[in-house]
Structure 1
Amino acid sequence: MSHRDTDPSTACFRPFDPQRDLQWVHALNQANGDKLSFLSTEELLELIASASYARVSDDCMAFLIAFEETDLYDSQNFKWFRHRYASFTYVDRIAVDPRAQGQGVARSLYEDLFSFSKRRHKPFIGCEVNSDPPNPASMAFHRSLGFEQIGSAVISQGQKSVSYLARAL
């Protein structure tokens, strides 16, 4: 069965396993580095070790990494949420292999994160989407999941603008 034959509602996600997943997760991250940020394998392992949520699809086509307010993470965007909210889950990055895009995998990963965060009594999920340079596909996707803009910032020494989004749980 190919990934296109897989029903996204039955997609299986599991915790990141460095032995099984580091190579393909790193490659997928780097392929999307202009939107996510480029990381060395060591930086990726450190990021995942600090995250409350790091899950991958069983078919090695997607991953999502998220943090809670108590996690140790030095991201400017994460800190934006931490300075404003006492409790939340923050999506740092999600990536889907181009061969699986449009199949509902990202939506299913988010649904898994929503369930995870509800069990942990988080009031909302936060994330940022690039607004300059724009990422209209990501903005449309997040809006379709019920995310709304709650703020914005100019980052990276004025080289990039982001919109901060949130979805209540």
Structure 2
Amino acid sequence: MSIVVMGVSGAGKSTVAAALAAALGGAYIDADDLHPAENVAKMAAGVPLDDGDRMPWLRLVGGALAEDRLVVVACSALRRTYRDVLRDAASRVFFVHLDVDPAVLSARLAQRTDHFMPASLLASQLATLEPLDADEAGIVVDAAAPLAEIIPAAAEAWRRAES
């Protein structure tokens, strides 16, 4: 069962996914690296992606999850329909939803200088976010907690779901 670390921009997806992959001996992939140049340019210009932009990208992410090994992907996966696309490609996917107070997110994004996603798109991401449904394998974690707490909690939840 592969893992998607999900949430809005600034939640810490890349940091958590890389640390979780290392802790579990899996491969780490940042879904942002799979965006086509057109998507990156659109977001960098402050224009939110629409589903026409997202679907081809989500299918690429799903293909990465379908590899025959443990893969931990950092991917926003904001809507149920987006998560369904990922599950269609890789039937066994566990989601780690990083939940963070919007004030913390704003502060984190204000400090970022090396990312194409501007802070101005945070509101649209928060409006788009659909929490995990009860029938979706996953865990919600407080992403304001220390990494030393997030990784063991996520790993243990994944192990329980895996068995």
More strand as a share of residues: 1
- Fold shared by both chains (TM-score > 0.5): no
Q: Which TM-score applies when normalising by structure 2?
A: 0.33
More helix as a share of residues: 2
Structure number with the bigger relative contact order (C-alpha 8 A, sep ≥ 6) is 2
Q: Which TM-score applies when normalising by structure 1?
A: 0.32
